[in-house]
Amino acid sequence: QSALTQPASVSGSPGQSITISCTGTSSDVGSYSLVSWYQHHPGKAPKLMIYEGTKRPSGVSYRFSGSKSGSTASLTISGLQAEDEADYYCCSYVSSAVFGGGTKLTVL
């Protein structure tokens, strides 16, 4: 499997909303695979933010939401906060896992 395609960086001001896209193919994101999203602060363990495409784990803010259209999945963060600044990765699993290249979110 090839890495999924994410924008290298996105930015937004506090209170704004941003969307990170994750583009794959009909064999991964566009298949029965359900995308998960991870937040990663340098030096820390990655944190699951969205699973099965749209579900939030307990403890994750309602400001994080996931969606999918065709072979593109998206992570939307509303009401941006300074603490949201981190790297974000999508992941598709079809017999093995493949991650996106990662998106650096900067909160201006």
Partner 1 sequence: EVQLVESGGGLVQPGGSLRLSCAASGFTFSNYDMHWVRQAPEKGLEWVSSIGTAGDTYYLGSVKGRFTISRENAKNSLYLQMNSLRAGDTAVYYCARAETTVTTGGYTEYFQHWGQGTLVTVSS
Q: Which residues bind partner 1 (CB under 8 A)?
A: 3, 31-34, 36, 38, 40, 44-48, 51-52, 57, 87, 89, 91-102
Provide, rounded to whole angstroms, the least separation between the CB of residue 11 and partner 1: 18
Residue 32 or 62 having the CB closest to partner 1: 32
Residue 10 or 48 having the CB closest to partner 1: 48
Provide, rounded to whole angstroms, the least separation between the CB of residue 100 and partner 1: 7
For residue 95, what are the CA distances in angstroms to 1, 23, 27, 98?
10, 19, 11, 10
Provide, rounded to whole angstroms, the least separation between the CB of residue 52 and partner 1: 6
Residue 13 or 42 having the CB closest to partner 1: 42
Tokens standing for 20? 């990170």
